[in-house]
A and B are shown apart, each in its own frame.
Chain A
Amino acid sequence: MTDTPVVLPILPAVPVPGATPFLQLLGQSEAGRCEGDSCGI
């Protein structure tokens, strides 16, 4: 045993923007959507 403290990593409270770590994406990727001013297939 040592006296060295164990430092646990701090997990982020919310997912990192741009990622969907806890959402499983379903469906076809080519469905129509709007991103900003662009609305395409």
Chain B
Amino acid sequence: MSETIKVDIWSDVQCPWCYIGKRKFEAGAALFDGAVEVEYHSFELAPDTPVDFAGSPVDYLSERKGIPVAQVTEMLARVTGIAESVGLHYDYDSVHQTNTVISHELLHYAKVHGRQLDMKERLLKAYFVDGRHVGRIEDLADLAAEIGLDRADVVRALTAHEYLADVKADVAQANAYGIQGVPFFVIDGKYGISGAQDPEAFAGALRQAQADQNEAGQNETAAPGENR
């Protein structure tokens, strides 16, 4: 019998492909006949972004990063359409471009309290669908309270930056793996999947990891007999 397959996912809250990839991974995991444990890790795509950027994502990408408006518009329209195809209704007109480091700290807080997956889903929906701000402590505490976390304790932990070192450790591990873009999935510590792949790609990787575990288990079982 195979063990649980661990999946480590590097992702950013304001990464449109990460939410799409989350849905596709979930669909792939549903195709897989086995147990899966997911842990999210922090990746900051734009750590230089101010918390309160006064403008839209189009403004941010065109004015601050020098990407032509037409290219930004086409990019957002394309990703919005693909999001729709997996049941996500992105609303870029309401998005608050911000710095996501504190939202990553909140994800580590939620992990310690056993609610990381719910927090990740809430943050992605808050940013891409609901037009909520995910860069300010008070707004993040509201979102945390919505999934049942202790609002006052969240404010305390985020104000003290208790989990900032964990965020930086995740970023360092991403660098060690050579991860340059997100979403990035590490299956059972040995297979890497970059990007929002189709569900079957994830299911196939999970099956491969399961087969590896089964093979390793058979070898461990057979080894004592060989010595008799």
**Co-complex (A, B):** yes
A32 with B194: CB separation less than 8 A: no
B193 with A39: CB separation less than 8 A: no
B46 with A36: CB separation less than 8 A: yes
A39 with B176: CB separation less than 8 A: no
CA gap between A30 and B46 in the complex, in Å = 22
CA gap between A41 and B182 in the complex, in Å = 12
Q: Give B118 Cβ to nearest chain A Cβ, in Å.
A: 23
A: residues with CB less than 8 A from B are: 14-20, 22-41
B45 with A32: CB separation less than 8 A: no
Residue B117 lies at the interface, judged by CB distance under 8 Å to chain A: no
Q: Give A9 Cβ to nearest chain B Cβ, in Å.
A: 19
Across chains A and B, the number of contacting residue pairs, with CB separation under 8 Å, is 100
Residue B101 lies at the interface, judged by CB distance under 8 Å to chain A: no
CA gap between A6 and B138 in the complex, in Å = 60
CA gap between A15 and B201 in the complex, in Å = 25
B: residues with CB less than 8 A from A are: 12, 15-18, 20-21, 45-46, 61, 65, 67, 75, 78-79, 82, 175-178, 180-184, 186-187, 190-198, 201-202, 204-205, 208
Sample of 20 A–B contacts (CB below 8 Å): A23-B178, A23-B192, A25-B193, A26-B201, A26-B208, A27-B202, A28-B197, A31-B21, A31-B194, A31-B196, A32-B21, A32-B79, A32-B195, A33-B183, A33-B196, A34-B12, A34-B181, A36-B46, A37-B46, A40-B75
B190 with A24: CB separation less than 8 A: yes
Chain B minimum-CB-distance residue to A31:
B195
Contact A25-B194, Cβ < 8 Å, known A15-B176, A34-B181, A37-B46: yes
A39 with B17: CB separation less than 8 A: yes
New A-B pairs, 12, CB < 8 Å, besides A25-B194, A32-B16, A33-B182: A20-B178, A22-B190, A25-B191, A27-B202, A28-B197, A31-B194, A31-B196, A32-B21, A32-B82, A34-B181, A40-B75, A41-B78
